[in-house]
Every structure is written in C-alpha cells, then in structure tokens.
Amino acid sequence: MQATYKEWFVDFTPFANEGKKTTKIGDIPSSWTVKRLTELMSYAGGQQPPASEFKFQPQEGYIRLVQIRDYETDKYATYIPESSKNKLCDAHDIMIARYGVSLGRICFGLNGAYNVALAKVSPNKPYYREYLRCFLNTETFYNGINGSGERSAQQGFNQSGMDAFLLPVPPDDILLRFEALLSPIFEYRLFLRSEIEHLEAIRDIVPYAMIQSSSSR
C-alpha cells in the first residue's frame, strides 16, 4: 500500500505526462492543489472511563475498551459499560496514538470504545480514507508529529500540529481510483488479521485441553 502511495502521490509516476506547477511543497501535477491535512479530515480524542468500571471478561451491557496495547495483544482485554459518552471505533477506522513513546503510531482492526490515548481520524469524504491512511503512515507524518519535542510526547498532538501538514491533493476522480485500488487490499489485511487471531486462539486452547485430558486419566 505504501509503495503505491509513493508512486502516485510522491513520485507522481502515473501522471508523468501532465504538466507541473511549482508550489510551497514542490512541483506537483498542474491540475492538483495543495491542502492542509485538516481540510481532508477531522479527528476526535477518546474517553477515559474510571478504572472502577473495568471488567476483564465480556458480559452483557459492556463494550471493549480499545487501548494502544490492544493492537498488539488481547492479553489485557478490558470492558466498560455501554454509554452514550463512549467514543466508538470499528476495525476500518484510522486510529492515531496521541501520547508518549507511541505518539503518531497508526492503528486499525478493533471494534469498541477507544480511550483517551487514541484519536480517531474521520475523512471528510469516504474516498479519502486510504489516501489518508497511507499519508499518516509515512515518515513525513510520524517525524512531523514527533519532531515538536517533549511537549508533544506528553500532551499529544493538537489542531495546530495537524494544520502544519500540507498535502498534494489530486482531483476527486484520482482519489476515487486510489480508494478502489487499495480498499480490497485493506480488507484482505483485516481478513488475515482475523485469521491469525483465530489460529492463536486455537494454539492457546489445544495445550490446555491436552493438559486437562492428561490429568483426568
């Protein structure tokens, strides 16, 4: 996905026959424009429920609390009461880690109510999604978010930090083509992730079942 993004939106290879114009971010195809990142998306930080509400097994009336570490492992799965105050995400959403050593990390793949250490990116148009996902996974974004020092690491990014990013934006028909090309790839990534989780669950269950069987003899 990132290789295709670079080919289209950094090297402009498919648009080599189009004339170029000089902008503040360099030469871009003549029919394109330069926009701030925040003109293409909005974002919302999560909600932090009190620890007294946490449950560690799924149960009726509760929803998964999505935390940064959950994108690595399900070992610490936590559940909180369903509430209108919850900020919800699904597997397709673009999630950004807001604080500390994970600042600027891009995550996806979980459903639930995300906590304060995460922010959800909402594209202003549906077909901006994979374009934004790819840009947010670049070193340009990661280094830009992390380059503002200890204050950013502790307090997270803010509106002015996001406003600072300028992107080359093509006409909508190109973004539609890019979305149509990459969406199936992203769906396949989600499928592989679910298959891996399923296999890991089987791996963990089988040894336990064998132990139980041996002890009952």
In the predicted structure, residue 208 carries a pLDDT above the cut 60 = no
Convert 16-36 to b/e letters by CB count within 10 Å (16 or more is b).
eeeeeeeeeeeebbeebeeee
Q: For the chain, what are the domain ranges?
A: 2-215
Q: Give me the amino acid identity at 181.
A: L
Which two tokens mark 167?
């992107």
CATH number, domain 2-215, options 3.20.20.480, 3.50.50.100, 3.90.220.20, 3.30.160.60? 3.90.220.20
Q: What is the mean pLDDT of residues 208-214?
A: 53
In the predicted structure, residue 216 carries a pLDDT above the cut 70 = no
The predicted pLDDT at position 153 comes to: 58
In the predicted structure, residue 129 carries a pLDDT above the cut 90 = yes
Q: pLDDT tens across 131-188, in order?
A: 999 999 999 999 998 875 555 556 677 777 889 999 999 999 999 999 999 999 999 8
Q: pLDDT tens across 14-28, in order?
A: 999 999 999 999 999
In the predicted structure, residue 211 carries a pLDDT above the cut 60 = no
The predicted pLDDT at position 113 comes to: 98
Report in angstroms the alpha-carbon separations of 158 from 99, 123, 132, 139, 144: 11, 17, 17, 19, 12
The predicted pLDDT at position 178 comes to: 98
Q: Give me the amino acid identity at 157.
A: F
Report in angstroms the alpha-carbon separations of 14 from 27, 70, 97, 157, 174: 15, 38, 33, 34, 10
Q: Give the position of tokens 């077909």.
A: 127
Q: pLDDT tens across 88-127, in order?
A: 999 999 999 998 889 999 999 999 999 999 999 999 999 9
- Confidence label for 41 from pLDDT (cuts 50, 70 and 90): very high
- Confidence label for 204 from pLDDT (cuts 50, 70 and 90): low
CA 166: distance to chain centroid? 19
Residue 16 parent element (H or E): none
In the predicted structure, residue 42 carries a pLDDT above the cut 70 = yes
Contacts 24+ apart (CB under 8 A), 21-24: 23/168, 24/166
Q: Please calculate the CA angle 77-80-81 and round it to the nearest 5 degrees.
A: 150
- Tell me the HSE value of 152 on the side-chain side, using a 13 A CA sphere: 19
Q: How far apart are CA 189 and CA 145, in angstroms?
A: 26
Do 92 and 108 touch, CB atoms closer than 8 A?
Answer: yes
pTM to 2 decimals? 0.85
